[in-house]
């Protein structure tokens, strides 16, 4: 299986939580617009955020309002970005990306989630060395697609790696090449079900204890349900439910 098979599966599970997803995406768009301007043509981060929002069927009005808030055209709160690192049950490495207007609240919530699930937060750098920061593009398979042709187009566009799965294709890039590869493939007519920068684990870790498996699933769910949490990354080789 490709390196993000479980990510694709979990993304599908999250589709029922649209309101919460829209809240997170709105923050993501606001920060991108604040830091790089409101024109996605000249702001790769904003373009990525908008594409991610559209992939989740976020209404255009919501997207436009978030851009204007981030650009200072509408009154809005200021969000901070930071990352927590820690260990889940059984020593699973966990990276949590935060985007919040209340750092103290976010810190207390995340700490409590780890504590409830037999995990613990660690110092900065305690697990991040176990992950690589990469650009990830996912294209859903259709009958008309030629796998060899797509692979060649991806590699010629500057992709680092290409994986063909049963339901989709996974394309990986260096961070610096992400926008260029995405733009080239988009020009070629491909549409992405995922297009973003992610932390990918270098190796995966399994859990065999049923109680640890249950608590690890609960930890991921608690973190993903938190409005202040933007992304959760881990190196757990999650079994099929």
Segment 183-189 shows an average pLDDT of 91
- Asked which of 46-50, 201-205, 207-211 is least confident by mean pLDDT, the reply is 46-50
Q: What is the pLDDT of residue 71?
A: 81
Q: What is the pLDDT of residue 2?
A: 62
- Rounded to the nearest angstrom, the gap between the alpha carbon of residue 162 and the centroid of all alpha carbons in its chain is 19
On whether residue 240 sits in a domain, the answer given is: no
Q: How many domains are there within the chain?
A: 3
- Asked which of 24-33, 75-84, 160-169, 214-223 is least confident by mean pLDDT, the reply is 75-84
Q: What is the pLDDT of residue 46?
A: 87
Neighbours of 175 (CB within 10 A): 11
Paired strand residues for 236: 205
User: Percent of the chain beyond pLDDT 90?
Assistant: 54
Neighbours of 12 (CB within 10 A): 9
* C-alpha–C-alpha distance, residues 196 and 239, integer Å: 25
Segment 152-181 shows an average pLDDT of 94
Segment 51-73 shows an average pLDDT of 86
Segment 188-215 shows an average pLDDT of 92
Q: Is the pLDDT of residue 77 over 80?
A: no
In this structure, what token pair is assigned to residue 4? 């993000």
Residue with token string 């660690």: 122
Q: What is the pLDDT of residue 70?
A: 83
Question: Does one domain contain both 105 and 144?
Answer: no
* C-alpha–C-alpha distance, residues 95 and 2, integer Å: 20
Q: Cβ(92)–Cβ(209) under 8 Å?
A: no
Q: What is the CATH number of the domain that holds 64?
A: 1.10.10.200
Mean pLDDT of the chain: 88
Q: Cβ(241)–Cβ(9) under 8 Å?
A: no
* C-alpha–C-alpha distance, residues 3 and 229, integer Å: 22
- The per-residue pLDDT for range 7-27, each reduced to its tens digit, is 555 555 555 566 778 888 888
Q: Is the pLDDT of residue 69 over 90?
A: no
- The per-residue pLDDT for range 96-148, each reduced to its tens digit, is 999 888 999 999 999 999 999 999 999 999 999 999 999 999 999 988 888 99
Question: Does one domain contain both 57 and 109?
Answer: no
- 32: Cβ contacts below 8 Å, ≥ 6 apart: 43, 45, 46, 48, 49, 70
Q: Is the pLDDT of residue 149 over 80?
A: yes
Question: Does one domain contain both 93 and 212?
Answer: yes
Question: Does one domain contain both 146 and 179?
Answer: yes
On whether residue 241 sits in a domain, the answer given is: no
Question: Does one domain contain both 222 and 191?
Answer: no
* C-alpha–C-alpha distance, residues 35 and 38, integer Å: 9
Beta strand 161-164 with 168-173 is antiparallel
Q: What is the pLDDT of residue 17?
A: 64
Q: Is the pLDDT of residue 180 over 60?
A: yes
Q: In the structure, what pLDDT confidence band is assigned to residue 51 with cuts at 50, 70 and 90?
A: confident
On whether residue 15 sits in a domain, the answer given is: yes
Domain that holds residue 161: 130-201
On whether residue 125 sits in a domain, the answer given is: no
Q: Is the pLDDT of residue 201 over 80?
A: yes
Q: What is the CATH number of the domain that holds 194?
A: 3.30.70.980
Cα–Cα distances in angstroms (integers) from residue 152 to residues 52, 164, 193, 230, in the given order? 25, 12, 20, 33
Return the DSSP state at 15.
Answer: G
Q: Cβ(197)–Cβ(134) under 8 Å?
A: yes
Segment 183-198 shows an average pLDDT of 88
Round to the nearest angstrom and report the end-to-end CA distance of the chain: 16
């Amino acid at each position: 299986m490709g390196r993000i098979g479980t990510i694709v599966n979990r993304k599908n599970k999250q589709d029922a939580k649209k309101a919460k997803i829209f809240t997170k995406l709105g923050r993501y768009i606001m920060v991108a617009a604040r830091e790089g301007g409101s024109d996605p043509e000249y702001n790769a981060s904003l373009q990525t955020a908008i594409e991610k929002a559209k992939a989740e069927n976020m209404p255009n009005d919501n997207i436009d309002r978030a851009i204007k808030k981030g650009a200072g055209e509408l009154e809005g709160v200021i969000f901070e970005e930071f990352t927590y690192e820690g260990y889940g049950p059984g020593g699973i490495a966990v990276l949590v990306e935060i985007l919040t207007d209340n750092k103290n609240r976010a810190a207390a919530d995340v700490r409590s989630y780890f504590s409830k699930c037999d995990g613990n937060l660690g110092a900065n750098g305690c697990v991040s060395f176990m992950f690589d920061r990469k650009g990830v593009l996912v294209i859903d398979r259709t009958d008309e697609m030629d796998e060899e042709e797509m692979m060649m187009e991806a590699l010629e566009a500057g992709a680092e790696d290409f994986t063909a799965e049963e339901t989709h294709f996974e394309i990986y890039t260096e961070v610096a090449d992400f926008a260029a590869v995405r733009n080239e493939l988009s020009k070629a007519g491909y549409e992405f079900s995922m297009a973003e920068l992610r932390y990918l684990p270098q190796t995966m870790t399994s859990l065999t204890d049923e109680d640890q498996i249950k608590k690890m699933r609960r930890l991921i769910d608690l973190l993903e349900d938190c409005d202040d949490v933007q992304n959760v990354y881990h190196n757990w080789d999650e079994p099929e439910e």
